[in-house]
Amino acid sequence: MQTLSRTRSHKRAGRRRPWRWVKRLMLASALTCTTFALVGMIFLFGTKSGEELREWAAGTLLTTQHDYWAPYTFLPEEKLNALKQQIRSPEVINSENPTETDLPEQESIPVTVTLPEKPKELVEIEEINVSKGNYYFKGKIMNISDPKRVQLLVTNRKDRGDLLDEFVKKTNAVGIVNASGFSDPDGYGQGAQAYGVVIHDGKILQGYNPKSGETSLGITYDGKLITGSYTAEQLVKMGVRDAMSFRPQLIVNGKNLFADKPAKSWGIQPRTAIGQKADGTIVFVVIDGRQPGHSIGASMNDLAELLAERGVVTAMAMDGGSSSMMLHNGEAITKTSCPYYRGRYLPNAWAVI
């Protein structure tokens, strides 16, 4: 009987042991999480690198629909306000002087729009794959040899905008990228109403809207890209055939406007930009983003540097984020961050016709 009693006691003790291991594992996990949290807090709030990371995060949030989260990066108020100011009021330079007296004289790099004796391919695609150490990005550059073939396409829908592939089906565009920003409450905008100036085929469809800033980008009938603080009426008088508005300018008259600016002010995002080289070549660029393992996104400094390295003398950013997308011959050649693989509904787009 004593042997049986001891046997039962031994079995009961054995049954309790797994719970001891569970408790120990939970305690170890809690201590590990607490340690990591403390180390993370010390890094974020006690080191220069941590503060820079919070600035990157704030700059990125301020250029999205979720800008109300930026204060929760706990940056000093003066730094957060400085970031807001850089985004809301970027430097603006007019690439052309509409009158003889309203602007100071500035150095200008002439754009000669002449086609070579031996015609180039109308469209050439370049792969972008860049690592910056802390982040990386991929994308595409589209070089268009004949600038007169570049036009602004405008949706004719009233309920919503068009997808890029819908613009292509209507026009047989060879290449296309997104253009204007648009009303987008809570990220559910339908892309029917563009912000800012819209000129199509020499006709003013929409005048200046203060929500979009003051920077316009247009292309003249002879294929020259113009950017600056112009009204729609000024642009038409200057011979502009198509135009829209967004911000910021990246390069004007050969000057990289982000060469001496902190990259953190605009954060890291998917990007779209339009530019022109001195020989007249129009350049479309789209950088993918918000996709770990594929492409995180680029800063405005990255975008300006990328274009300057390729000889672009005039360039401006288009709408970015989940709107950024490029199609070539009807197929998407960049990867949108929009949950819908065909991208977003858009009020207009720059296309090669």
pLDDT along the chain (353 residues), means of 10: 47 59 75 69 62 66 66 73 75 77 49 63 98 95 98 96 98 98 82 94 85 82 96 95 96 95 84 98 98 96 97 98 97 96 97 97
How far is residue 40 from each of residues 56, 79, 119, measured CA to CA in Å?
16, 21, 57
Alpha-carbon gap, residue 217 to 179, rounded angstroms = 10
Q: What's the pTM?
A: 0.82
Q: What is the pLDDT of residue 114?
A: 59
Q: What is the pLDDT of residue 210?
A: 53
Contact 271, 317 (CB under 8 A): yes
Write b or e for each residue in 217-234: b if 16 or more Cβ atoms lie within 10 A of its Cβ, otherwise e.
bbbbeebbbbbbbbebeb
The DSSP secondary-structure symbol of 16 reads H
Domains in the chain: boundaries: 2-86, 106-352
With CA atoms as reference, report the closest residue to 235 among 279, 210, 201.
Answer: 201
Task: Give alpha helix (H) positions in 99-158.
Answer: none
pLDDT of residue 197: 95
Instruction: Give the whole-angstrom CA distance, residue 127 versus residue 246.
Output: 25
Cα end-to-end span (Å), the chain: 98
Cα 321–chain centre separation:
5
Q: How high is the pLDDT of residue 23?
A: 74
Alpha helices (H) in the chain, listed in sequence order:
2-46, 48-62, 77-88, 164-171, 232-237, 300-309
